[in-house]
């Protein structure tokens, strides 16, 4: 496991193409891992200047860092939830695998994690918690959501459409209800 790529690399000169240099260095690490039949994990921090980009494009340095990687795993806390909640979003992207997202919660007593939710609704976990608490078993509509949660109509419809496509909710004319197959035991 490499703790920090920037600590391993040498000083950069003013000449040369930084993208090519980083790409060559990371390809050399990938080739070494392949030869040794091992995995080299590069722990990398997001660039503060790339907040508007997709998470897999936020790596500090040049775009070569993300482009040469065989896979990316991101662990992030939900800004909307208190730190003590312990829920984390894990996002996985890979060149040779199908990406996925899941929510896990740390259990301090056993020092392991519970799987809370997996699939495309994972990134909406904080909103799902609010919805489930406000409407635990009943149908609800946009007006109910606006009154109880204070969400705007565009936000409500955008989120509800994502949750319907994720098989979390079912659309019933002008209202929504929880899909019976949705496992909400941790919400």
Q: Is 161 left (phi over 0), alpha (psi -120 to 50) or beta?
A: alpha
Domain architecture of the chain: domains with CATH = 1-66 (no CATH), 122-178 (1.10.10)
Grade residue 161 by pLDDT with cuts at 50, 70 and 90: very high
63-73 pLDDT, tens per residue? 556 666 677 78
Looking only at the bridges linking them, the beta strands covering 169-172 and 175-178 are antiparallel
45-56 pLDDT, tens per residue? 666 666 566 665
| Burial tier of 105 (Cβ tally within 10 Å: 0-12, 13-18, 19+) | middle
Residue 11: count other Cβ atoms within 10 Å of its Cβ. 4
End-to-end, the C-alpha distance of the chain in Å comes to 34
Tell me the whole-structure pTM to 2 decimals.
0.73
pLDDT at 105 > cutoff 60: yes
């Amino acid at each position: 496991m490499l703790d920090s790529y920037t600590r391993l690399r040498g000083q950069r000169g003013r000449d040369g193409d930084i993208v090519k240099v980083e790409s060559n260095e990371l390809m050399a690490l990938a080739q070494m891992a392949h030869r040794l039949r091992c995995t080299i994990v590069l722990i990398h921090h997001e660039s503060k200047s790339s907040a508007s980009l997709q998470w897999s494009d936020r790596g500090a340095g040049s775009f070569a860092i993300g482009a040469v990687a065989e896979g990316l795993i991101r662990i992030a806390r939900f800004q909307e939830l208190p730190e003590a909640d312990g829920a984390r979003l894990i996002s996985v992207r890979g060149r040779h695998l199908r990406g996925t997202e899941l929510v896990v919660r740390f259990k301090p007593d056993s020092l392991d994690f519970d799987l809370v939710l997996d699939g495309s609704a994972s990134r909406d976990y904080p909103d799902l918690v609010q919805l489930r608490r406000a409407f635990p078993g009943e149908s609800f509509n946009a007006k109910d959501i606006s009154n109880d949660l204070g969400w705007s109509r565009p936000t409500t419809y955008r989120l509800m459409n994502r949750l319907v496509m994720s098989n979390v909710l079912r659309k019933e004319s002008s209202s929504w209800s929880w899909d019976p197959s949705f496992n909400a035991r941790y919400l």
